[in-house]
Each structure stands twice: as structure tokens, then as C-alpha cells.
Structure 1
Amino acid sequence: MELTEEIAAYRDGRGEPGRLVGEFRRAVLLAPLEAGVDGGLMSAVQGGVRWLYAFTDEAALARFARARGAGDREWEYLSILGARLVDAIVPMVDGPAGVAVNVADENGSMVFPPVLGIVPDACAVDRTDAA
């Protein structure tokens, strides 16, 4: 299954967390670049967590752009594996960070929080060892 299908199955109560995370890690995602920030990925902070935005395709990114009232401008983005986002980028963020996929799609969005099994252990907020 593709990531969007795994998200739909999970949201419908038919999915398995392990399959969902596996598909997320294998998926090539589009991570928009923050306008005016050299190489910075677009993100937002909610609940003390920095959420990196990622999209499964250009159509999902375009829906996000329109929802932000910026559908008329060109959006630069980085094509990156989900695994690379969590294994290489999340550890570079100051504080807890996760990935929010297809955030403009009410019934097709999914968050991958900074917890064990998704992000590197050292970045997980639910680890039990002393940091």
C-alpha cells in the first residue's frame, strides 16, 4: 500500500501502526521550504512540538498552499524520504519534533509524533532513561 492508503486504513480503524510507520519511512515526501529561510523546512509549533510539514504529492501541497491563502505563488520543496526526515532532520531541531503529513486534508492527514518507534530514541519524548 502507499502512504495515503495506509493513512486511510489507519484512520478507518483497519490499519496497523507498524505498517503505517513503515510506509511513512519508505515514502518520498515533499517538504516545503520556508520562504526567505536558506534551506529551512516549513514547520509550526503546536503543544510544544515542532511539526515539520510533509506532503505525499504536489496536489496535497497545493491544497495546503490554497488553505494558507498562498496558492498563487510557486512553492519550493525538498523531495525526501520519510525515514530521512525523522532520522536526519528531527535530531537537528532544537526540542521535540515530529512530522505532519498532508495537514490540509481533513480526512487524509496524519501526524508522526516524536515518540519511540518513529523518531530516533534520543529524540523521543516518551523514553524512560534520563536525558
Structure 2
Amino acid sequence: MTAIDKVASYAMDSANFDRFSQVNQKTTENVEAIKKLADEFEGIFLEIVLKSMRETIDKTQMTDGGNGEQIFQSMLDSEYAKNLANQRTTGLAASIEQHLLGMMGETKVSDVMQKAAGMAQYNKAK
């Protein structure tokens, strides 16, 4: 490796470190972006689940079929997934959000985790 290559490599590593340190800082924009990303991931995951569930249903030749129905059901599953993800009931988005915020130094316990701990204590007290 020549001296020029070493300098170029060092400059790239320095630039990447600066970019990573900017992204790794906990700002309101980054927190909102993480929340949006987690919600989108949960929506995609739920859409895959709904599509898989729909494929398990047997179709009859008389009433089912056609491209129009497939397109409509795909769009319907997509909307169902968005609505389910917006409700944040599965805990997947909250878990992803908490993990990514934990990587940024955030130690706050999410509402879902607090609810789960509260339910565990409630059930234990019974």
C-alpha cells in the first residue's frame, strides 16, 4: 500500500466516522425517523403475514379468481397491515424502536415493555 493509498484510506475512515457520529446522535429528527422506520417495518411484516394467511384459504372456481380480485385483495391486505401497524399492538415496532434507540444511548423503557411488566406483576399478585 502506497502512502497515497494510506492517506486516502484514512480520509475515508475519518469521513465515515464523522457521518456515523452525526447519525448516532440522539436528535428529535433521528428519533422520529427511527419511529417511522419501525412502523414501516412492522407494516411490511404484517402485510407478509396477511398475504401468507390468505394463501392458506382454498379457492373455489365458481366465485374466486381473476386478476381484479388478486389486485384488490393485495391492496386490501396492504391497508389492513398499515392499520394494524398504526395501532402498534404487536410490539414489533416498539421493540425495534427501543433497540435502535438503545444503540444511540437511549435507556428509556418503552410503553409496551412497561405494560408487559405491569401485567406480569398483576398476574403474579393473583
TM-score calculated relative to the size of structure 1: 0.28
Higher helix residue share: 2
Q: Which has the higher contact order (CA 8 A, sep 6+)?
A: 2
Structure 1 or 2, whichever has the larger Rg, is 2
